Structure 1
Amino acid sequence: MNVKKIVFAGLFIALEVIFTRFLSIQTPIIRIGFTFIPTALSAVLLGPLFAGITAGLADIIGMVLFSGGAAYFPGFTLSAFLSGAIYGLFLYRKSVRFWRVCMAVLIITVVVNLGLDTLWLWMLTGKGILGLLPARFIKSVIMFPIQVILIQVVWKSLAVSLRLEPSHHFPNGFR
């Protein structure tokens, strides 16, 4: 196992926990935040499996440390894992192009956020899915372009700081 990957995974776990628990607006049916940034970056650098594990561990650690009295529900950990894995399938060892980011965000938005997460909320709250979907759909439509733009901007900034070409897919030493 690559030590750099472990270090970066730890960094991304910490960032995901901080972004989710401290830099998000949380209501009972939606969360508006920027957790997608460390999840996408971990996928670009670590790959689908490692990004999925990183996102899943971040969900578990965040819940253990900052549950706020809420019960742990493994469905959201599965959603976090799938989000990291989907970003990884589109962005790992590939140049971070606009269309790749759009496809990853679209699939995560439809399948994970609107699909699975709405199902998990229905299971937890008993509220009708049709009652949950409108607010979640509006949030998703608003966040889609924000996510696509921020993932590209942050990756390009990170690539510059790592002295890579912004179109480069991963730093040397991550192979």
Structure 2
Amino acid sequence: MNVRTVTLLSVLIAMQIVLSRFLSIHTWNTKIGFSFVPVVVAAMLFGALEAGVVAAFGDIIGAMMFPVGAYFPGFTLTAFFHGIVYAMLLKKKASTGRIILAVLIVQIAGSLFLNTYWISVLYGSPYWPLFFTRIYQTFVMSFVQIAVILVLNHNVIPRLKNVI
């Protein structure tokens, strides 16, 4: 890893923090926003470890600097998982099918199942009622993420690859 890569990853972490903490809608059990964009960019440009680091460091630093509720390491693990999944499916070939698959895995396995579990543990809420209230968020964010990643893949990533 060279200085340029570290610098670009740092910028992506900063973007992830801003998008997550200031440009997202938060409630105690849901979050709707675009903080996935820097993680996806890191995944498509650099790979799994880098995308996981952007997601995890963005979560840790954001939680320390701008807390929204209590910090819980389970959310950091889920964020790292999101970066890994995006990179595994989108680094080499980001076809529409792979984009849809990546988003569905991230949203269903990560956001719906894992994050619901973490919220249940953190707040002592029953898992299944919480799970059912989070289905709507998962549904909405799946469509948002697919649309945004398709735009990134066709318009932004090719330009960034030429610059990097």
Given the two structures, how large is their TM-score scaled by the length of structure 2? 0.93
Percent sequence identity over aligned pairs: 37
* Structure 1, 1-10 or 56-65: larger mean CA deviation: 1-10
Q: CA deviation at 1:159?
A: 3.4
Of 101, 119, 131 in structure 2, the residue corresponding to residue 121 of structure 1 is 119
- Residue type matched to 2:89 in 1? F
Q: CA deviation at 1:116?
A: 0.9
Q: CA deviation at 1:160?
A: 5.0
Distance 1:8 1:91 in 2: 19
- 8 Å CA contact 2:45–2:157 kept in 1: the answer is no
Aligned to 1:166: none
| 1:87 aligns to 2:74 (yes or no) | no
Aligned to 1:133: 131
Aligned to 2:42: 42
Note the residue ranges of structure 2 that are not aligned, 5 or more in a row: none
- Where 2:138 maps in the other structure, the secondary structure is helix
- 8 Å CA contact 2:117–2:127 kept in 1: the answer is yes
Higher relative contact order (CA 8 A, sep 6+): 1
Equivalent runs, 1:1-175 vs 2, <5 Å? 1-68=1-68, 70-92=69-91, 94-159=92-157, 161-162=159-160, 171=161
Q: CA deviation at 1:154?
A: 2.2
- Where 1:114 maps in the other structure, the secondary structure is helix
- Residue type matched to 1:119 in 2? Y
User: Over aligned residue pairs, what C-alpha RMSD do you find?
Assistant: 1.6
Note the residue ranges of structure 1 that are not aligned, 5 or more in a row: 163-170
Larger helix percent: 2
- Residue type matched to 1:41 in 2? V
Q: Structure 1: which 4+ aligned runs deviate by more than 6 Å?
A: none
Given the two structures, how large is their TM-score scaled by the length of structure 1? 0.88
Distance 1:90 1:114, change over 3 A: same
1:33-81 CA distance string (max 9 Å, x none) = 111111111100110011101110000000110015x322100110110
- 8 Å CA contact 2:13–2:58 kept in 1: the answer is yes
- Where 1:34 maps in the other structure, the secondary structure is coil
- Where 2:80 maps in the other structure, the secondary structure is helix
- Where 1:9 maps in the other structure, the secondary structure is helix
Distance 2:37 2:84 in 1: 14
Distance 2:60 2:22 in 1: 16
- 8 Å CA contact 2:112–2:134 kept in 1: the answer is yes
Distance 1:113 1:134 in 2: 12
Distance 1:108 1:158, change over 3 A: same
